[in-house]
């Protein structure tokens, strides 16, 4: 399959490199449109993504531990058995994405958009989710244990077997009449 890589910055070209080869060869990836990408069984630990678009991409068994994302679009993506341990993801969008058996443990997830997220067996434990949004999200078997939830919004979420143990839920924002537990 041939991929075309479009730059948000029109003055730079990516050449004929495959998207995965390009990502694997660079520690810092900036301003790339990687929409519709499929990545399986890859270790992309420690990578830095700035202003990249991964919309409608699929990640399966991908390790992104200690990665850093700034202003990235990961909307309408599918993540299956992916690891984001100790990652730093800020001002990024996961809206409409599906997460299954993923971990974001010990991560900084600041000002992120998880609106419309469908999460099953996902761990956000020991993470800082300051000012992030989970509006209309479906959360099943998902844990937010020992998290900073200050200004984190959970409006109209569907929650089954969700744990907020030892997290500051009183500083989170739930819809009128919604109880965190």
CATH code assigned at 95:
2.160.20.80
Average pLDDT value for residue range 142-151: 98
Number of domains comprising the chain: 1
Q: Which residue has the tokens 């630990």?
A: 45
Residues 72 and 51 sit within 8 Å (Cβ to Cβ): yes
Q: Tell me, what's the pLDDT at 6?
A: 42
Would you say residue 29 lies in a domain? yes
Residue 83 lies in a domain: yes
pTM: 0.89
Q: In this predicted model, what pLDDT tens digit does every residue of 45-87 receive, in sequence order? A: 999 999 999 999 999 999 999 999 999 999 999 999 999 999 9
Q: Is residue 74 part of a domain?
A: yes
* pLDDT score, position 9: 40
Residue pair 22/47 in contact by the 8 Å Cβ criterion: no
Q: For residue 11, is pLDDT > 60?
A: no
pLDDT over threshold 90, residue 5: no
Question: What pLDDT shows up at residue 3?
Answer: 36
**Residue 158 counted as domain residue:** yes
On whether residue 50 sits in a domain, the answer given is: yes
Say if 181 falls within a structural domain: no
Contact yes or no for 136/116 (Cβ under 8 A): yes
Query: Residue 180 falls within a domain, yes or no?
Result: no
Phi, psi of 70, deg, nearest 5: -130, 125
pLDDT digits (tens, 9 = 90+) for 85-120: 999 999 999 999 999 999 999 999 999 999 999 999
Between CA 13 and CA 10 the distance in angstroms is 8
| Containing structural domain, residue 124 | 6-174
**Dihedral angle sign, alpha carbons of residues 41, 37, 33, 70:** negative
Helical segments of the chain, H only: 19-25
Domain-embedded: residue 179? no
């Amino acid at each position: 399959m041939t991929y075309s890589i479009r730059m948000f910055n029109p003055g730079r070209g990516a050449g004929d490199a495959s998207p995965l080869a390009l990502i694997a060869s660079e520690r810092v990836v900036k301003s790339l449109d990687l929409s519709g990408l499929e990545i399986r069984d890859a270790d992309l630990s420690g990578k830095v993504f700035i202003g990249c678009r991964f919309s409608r991409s699929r990640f399966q068994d991908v390790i992104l531990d200690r990665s850093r994302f700034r202003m990235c679009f990961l909307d309408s993506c599918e993540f299956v058995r992916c690891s984001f341990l100790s990652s730093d993801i800020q001002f990024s969008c996961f809206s409409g994405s599906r997460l299954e058996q993923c971990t974001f443990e010990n991560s900084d997830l600041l000002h992120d958009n998880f609106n419309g997220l469908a999460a099953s067996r996902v761990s956000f434990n020991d993470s800082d989710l300051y000012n992030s949004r989970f509006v209309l999200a479906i959360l099943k078997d998902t844990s937010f244990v020992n998290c900073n939830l200050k200004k984190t919004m959970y409006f109209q979420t569907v929650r089954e077997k969700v744990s907020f143990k030892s997290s500051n839920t009183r500083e989170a924002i739930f819809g009128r009449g919604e109880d965190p537990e």
